[in-house]
Amino acid sequence: MPRAEFDVPGRSRGLLDVFRWHYLLRLLIRTGVTTRYRNSVLGWTWSYVRPAAQFLVFWAVMGLFLDLNRGIPNYAVYLFSGIVVINLFSEAFKNATTSIVGNAPLVRKVFLPRQLFAVSAVVVAFVHFLPQVALLLVVCLFMGWIVQVSILQVLAIFAAVILILLFALGLGLFFGAVNVRFRDAENIVELLLLLATWASPVLYHWTMVAQAARTVGLDWLTELYLLNPITQAVELFHYAFWYPVTDTSRSTSPVVADMPLAPDLGINTLWAFLIGLVVFFVGQLVFRRLEGRFAQDL
């Protein structure tokens, strides 16, 4: 057998090894999905309970107490379509960050592509996201979504999911590698996730940010805000789910009627994908540079 067909032990080819070790990736995904609710009475019902509780709290505080329920038509659909996107990002980002430390026994004892843990964590988050988006879809179907939606809006759903997964994986690789040596990374991630909900148009409409930026004479802040990949993903979900079931043009209230689609949604989505790719490649670069010391640091 020629020497060229042998691999040098411990040499990683990055994410290419994830596809090569796809059988192990499937095993990690199956383990992550089946063990999450092990010994739980409600089981997969928790995938609905948590977003439902989140929705009720935000709807009561923002919708009723702050009166956004009147300011934004079909506020329940608007709110929940943003919450499911944030939940996908939060779970994927957080789980990818802790994936190496959480699998320390494997990392210390055997060699395998370490990126497998981060990728499997993101895929598991996507699996847990499916019941939430299915619930959103059922609600929208009862509101006549199927007769109003266009092919472009259906494609926007897939674009938003891919954008969030790409962005979360890139950040997860970066913070996951740093977290092996400096556990402060987990606390930083918690702070970022706390800000993610408020830094995106989940609880409010993007025009409120534009109005505030215009008031202080910093219109460029709106452009920067709309380039945030999470903001674009949320707006894509609003475009796909909320706009088809909401006819703002018939409203007599000037507050309600002034709910335009985010400007340059298509172009800004491409820019958001570019930002996501840059974050992904930086995260992969940092991960590969630090993974040689994972076993020692753990």
What is the distance of C-alpha 288 from the center of its chain?
Answer: 23
Q: Which of 202, 258, 207, 209 lies closest to 235, judged by CA?
A: 202
Count of all residues that appear for the chain in the document: 298
- Other Cβ atoms less than 10 A from the Cβ of 261: the count is 11
- Residue pair 82/202 in contact by the 8 Å Cβ criterion: yes
CA-based end-to-end distance of the chain = 36
- pLDDT at position 7 is 56
pLDDT tens series, the chain, 298 aa: 555 555 555 555 666 677 777 777 788 888 777 776 666 655 656 666 677 676 777 667 766 666 666 667 888 888 889 889 999 999 999 999 988 888 777 777 777 778 888 888 999 999 989 988 988 888 888 888 888 888 999 999 999 999 999 999 999 999 998 888 888 888 899 888 888 888 888 888 888 888 888 888 888 888 888 999 999 999 999 999 998 988 654 444 444 446 788 888 889 999 999 999 999 999 999 988 888 777 676 6
At residue 234, the pLDDT reads: 94
What is the pLDDT, as a whole number, of residue 249? 43
From CA 14, how far away is CA 130, in angstroms rounded? 28
Angle (nearest 5°) at CA 279 between 276 and 283 = 140
In whole angstroms, give the CA distance from residue 182 to residue 298. 11
Please tell me what DSSP assigns to residue 103.
T
CB burial of 83-100 (b: ≥16 within 10 Å; e: otherwise) equals bbbbbbbbbbbbbbbbbb
- In degrees, to the nearest 5, what angle opens at C-alpha 241 toward C-alphas 237 and 245? 150
User: Cα(232)–Cα(236) distance, rounded to whole angstroms?
Assistant: 6
Q: For residue 194, count CB atoms less than 10 angstroms from its CB and return exposed for 0-12, middle for 13-18, buried for 19 or more.
A: exposed
